[in-house]
Structure 1
Amino acid sequence: MTSENITLQVDGETAMSRLGADLALALKAGDVLALSGDLGAGKSTLARAMICALAGNPDLDVPSPTFTLVQEYQARLPVLHADLYRIGSPDELDELGLDEAAERGVVLVEWPERAEGNLPGNPVAVTIEPSGKGRRITFDGPAFTLARIQRSLAIRDFLAEAGQGEADRIFMFGDASTRAYETITQPDTPIRILMDAPKRPDGPPIRNNKPYSQIAHLAESVTPFVAIGNALRQRGLAAPAIHAEDLDQGLLLIEHLGHGNFLDDGKPVAERYHLAAEVLAAFHAQPFPATLPVGGGTYVVPAYDRDALTIEAELLSDWYLPYFTGKPASDTLRAAYGAAWNQVCDQLDTAEKHLVIRDYHSPNLIWRPEESGLNRIGVIDFQDALIGPSAYDVASLAMDARVDIDPALEAWTKAAYVAARKAQGTFDVEGFERAYAIMAAQRNAKILGIFVRLNERDSKPVYLKHLPRIRSYFARAIAHPALDPVRRFVEDNGILAPADAR
């Protein structure tokens, strides 16, 4: 499948190198770029810029493979750079390993005409021609690849409108959704973060003719991030300021809150968890409206309703139980599990409600030692926030999904929150403890399912290493009397291994 081609004018070697770096951000494993043009057209300049960007090293030595024919580079994506000028016939391609390289990473080919149409995969033809004082570059190939290239070019235009058209873009990371991030650097300008979050399509309907994303109220655009981020800053949280936004395209240029790791050498630091709990306490002491201004309109923060709570908890029966038992959960088992959670959720009707940030834990918290007070904790992930039991975020912090939190540190973190809330005035400690246990159990049931799903659906087995920790947290949470229906279900069906239940 092809799409209308992309044509652009590039003037000068600096602009050509910038284009190469932008292209690198659009590439994925399996991409093959066929670079055509006369001698001196700029093919090697473009290829070198892509390789340096993928390697994250602008000073990387990238010699022309004219005599070696191919040169390989270990980078964010493995790259094979080929120059076919000296091959005698297409039959020699088999010896160059282009097919194998395309399976693992990216292949850049100069003088692709010598291959006579025998390049692997679905190549993107990149044609470089003289045009005025510069070059006209045309991209033609599969629509899905051209769409990624066009997206990267649109980001460059977005940065230009924000006054950072000549900035360096450096791949930061992508998360489990369609979001990706870049660091944006330009002389005399603070480092900023580019959030690339195109509107994500809904999945198939799974209940009441609604997809999972709608039932669980997952953000489908950057609008919630802007609305909630503004409201968090107004209430004293160190959420990133937004320097430029394009809500329709899903592009944001935001403040870089710093490089400080909330953990220390991968281990929890008790004082930081204590402070993060106090940040939540100070935040929860302030009213939070469900309707927020954004982009000339309003955004209504969804409620963490029973449908959302239960469909998340059911990820355990949908994904974790089949993984744990080796067979799909029966309809009877699923019904019993759902009924147990419905009994438990009845107890949340009287729980204190506030904004639930939803992933308030170490990957999404920035340690800022240069700041003072509560401002030392930066908060960066809140686009999926809901209005629900305020105890949820305390549980997210005190049972951090990405690092082992022993019972003593969990209790100390929770106690710091309770002490801060009691210092503000009347606080229902018993009600908090009940809601905390319920939300901790619900969250960890959800995460057990998500981590298995990431392995089985998305081929990300690295998440399985976290399962013992999450099972341990789940076992801790369901020990509270409020979770008796769920605990009985777990015990009756032998869901937790003996070591996890201790």
Structure 2
Amino acid sequence: MTPPAAAAAFLAANGWDDADIVPVAGDASFRRYFRAVEPTRSAILMDAPPPHEDPRPFLNMARWLTGNGFAAPEIHGEDLDHGLVLLQDFGDVRMRETVDAEPSRELALYAAAIDILISLHTREAAALAPYGRAVLHREADLLTEWYCPAIGIEADQEAYSAAWDAVFDHALVGPKVTVLRDYHAENLMLIGPDTLGLLDFQDALAGHPAYDLVSLLQDARRDVSEDVEAAMLAHYKAAVATDPGFDAAYHVLGAQRNAKIVGIFTRLWQRDGKPRYPTLCPRVWRYLNRDLEHPALAPVKAWFDATIPQGLRGDPLALSSC
């Protein structure tokens, strides 16, 4: 976690000449994060090195979110040639660790996260590319591209694609909203006693409102109970008029997202040398199995039942060594 060569000059150009640069835990991408620290203030330095990363989608969404009253980090400076961005520092207190340490706050904090989505979904969607059928297919295919080969299964790709194609209409109907796409407890920062700040929204698209609900309530990184999931869905529906097909869309997108994540976590292990991610897959499979029980998923469930036995739905690293 050595700071990029251009960091010192970039900080100086933005008025942070005397800042110490301290590494901050990164994520699953090529992006790295540092904290610029001075005696009376701090900021976050994002290193999004080209050509692997492009910070412009993040910058555009951050400005759209703050312009619409949401708590995204303010932008203090940017250098697109070097992929450097200086951001408002939201601190280190994430919703995830707060809920784990104080279970009595779980419902209140999840309700606060749902309230953000309620507010987001009452606004016209940002000018974004659509979360359409081609994107849904491409993401679902990550399971057959990475997970199936890792555990020794030769999948029928044509049948897999056809099964998904038969159910995606549920997720493509109705008005589109801004979909942040990675909306979960590790990307929500406590910036006040009950105020949540938003991170990791650079991949936003315009799509179905159920997607970010799935991202939050079927969290790949922490267990969310079925009771909390049901309570938060009821909280959302009490504030937002949903159509009769909403539940089907929720489970279709849940299954699609969880299939994608199983593939991504396998890829992070095999391609990127990050072996902690496969250990998260059993949780994701539990969510996926639950989603597949919805009647709208019948064609997809039939493919999974014929192709991946329950005993092979788990940690791909562990299963590959059996």
Scaled by the length of structure 2, the TM-score of the pair is 0.90
Which residue number corresponds to residue 317 of structure 2? none
**Pair 369,319 (structure 1): closer, same or farther in 2 beyond 3 Å:** same
Per-residue deviation, 1:265: 6.1
Per-residue deviation, 1:174: 2.7
Per-residue deviation, 1:153: 2.9
Is 2:142 the counterpart of 1:315? Answer: yes
2:187 corresponds to which letter in structure 1? N
Per-residue deviation, 1:446: 0.3
Is 2:102 the counterpart of 1:283? Answer: no
Which residue number corresponds to residue 5 of structure 2? 153
- What's the CA shift string for 1:356-412, capped at 9, x where partnerless? 101000111112334x5xxx0111110111111121001000001100112111111
Q: Per the alignment, in what secondary structure is the counterpart of residue 225 of structure 1?
A: helix
Is 2:258 the counterpart of 1:258? Answer: no
**Pair 225,265 (structure 1): closer, same or farther in 2 beyond 3 Å:** closer
Structure showing greater Rg: 1
CA contact (8 A) 1:478 1:484 kept: yes
Which residue number corresponds to residue 39 of structure 2? 187
Per-residue deviation, 1:168: 0.5
CA contact (8 A) 1:351 1:431 kept: no
- Identify the structure with bigger relative contact order (alpha carbons < 8 Å, sequence gap 6+): 2
What do you get for the CA RMSD once the two structures are aligned? 1.9
Is 2:159 the counterpart of 1:341? Answer: no
Q: Per the alignment, in what secondary structure is the counterpart of residue 202 of structure 2?
A: coil
- What's the CA shift string for 1:281-314, capped at 9, x where partnerless? 1111011231xxxxxxxxxx22212121111101
Structure having the higher helix fraction is: 2
CA contact (8 A) 1:284 1:354 kept: yes
**Pair 351,498 (structure 1): closer, same or farther in 2 beyond 3 Å:** farther
**Pair 288,494 (structure 1): closer, same or farther in 2 beyond 3 Å:** closer
Q: Per the alignment, in what secondary structure is the counterpart of residue 430 of structure 1?
A: coil
Looking at structure 2, the residues matched to 253 and 489 of structure 1 have their Cα atoms a distance apart, in angstroms, of 47
Per-residue deviation, 1:195: 0.5
Per-residue deviation, 1:184: 0.7
Q: Per the alignment, in what secondary structure is the counterpart of residue 378 of structure 1?
A: strand
CA contact (8 A) 1:351 1:435 kept: no
Which residue number corresponds to residue 319 of structure 2? none
Is 2:199 the counterpart of 1:362? Answer: no
- What's the CA shift string for 1:430-489, capped at 9, x where partnerless? 232122111111110000111111112222111121111000000111211221110111
Identity %: 40
Scaled by the length of structure 1, the TM-score of the pair is 0.59
Q: Per the alignment, in what secondary structure is the counterpart of residue 66 of structure 2?
A: helix
Looking at structure 1, the residues matched to 113 and 126 of structure 2 have their Cα atoms a distance apart, in angstroms, of 22
| Counterpart pick for 1:406 among 225, 243, 256 | 225
Looking at structure 2, the residues matched to 493 and 499 of structure 1 have their Cα atoms a distance apart, in angstroms, of 11
CA contact (8 A) 1:447 1:470 kept: yes
Which residue number corresponds to residue 352 of structure 1? 175
Per-residue deviation, 1:266: 6.7
Which residue number corresponds to residue 83 of structure 1? none
- What's the CA shift string for 1:198-251, capped at 9, x where partnerless? 2234xxxxxxxxxxxxxxxxxx41111111111111222111000111223211
Looking at structure 2, the residues matched to 237 and 489 of structure 1 have their Cα atoms a distance apart, in angstroms, of 41
Looking at structure 2, the residues matched to 348 and 456 of structure 1 have their Cα atoms a distance apart, in angstroms, of 31
2:227 corresponds to which letter in structure 1? A
Looking at structure 2, the residues matched to 417 and 497 of structure 1 have their Cα atoms a distance apart, in angstroms, of 35
CA contact (8 A) 2:125 2:177 kept: yes
Looking at structure 2, the residues matched to 498 and 253 of structure 1 have their Cα atoms a distance apart, in angstroms, of 44
Per-residue deviation, 1:498: 9.2
After TM superposition, list the pairs within 5 Å mapping 1:78-477 onto structure 2: 152-188=4-40, 190-201=41-52, 220-264=53-97, 267=100, 269-290=106-127, 301-324=128-151, 326-327=152-153, 329-330=154-155, 333-370=156-193, 376-421=195-240, 427-477=241-291
Structure 1, unpaired ranges of 5+:
1-23, 27-151, 202-219, 291-300, 422-426
Per-residue deviation, 1:418: 1.4
**Pair 284,494 (structure 1): closer, same or farther in 2 beyond 3 Å:** same
Tell me the matched-pair count: 310
Looking at structure 1, the residues matched to 308 and 83 of structure 2 have their Cα atoms a distance apart, in angstroms, of 45
CA contact (8 A) 1:356 1:385 kept: yes
Looking at structure 2, the residues matched to 250 and 459 of structure 1 have their Cα atoms a distance apart, in angstroms, of 24
CA contact (8 A) 2:77 2:87 kept: yes
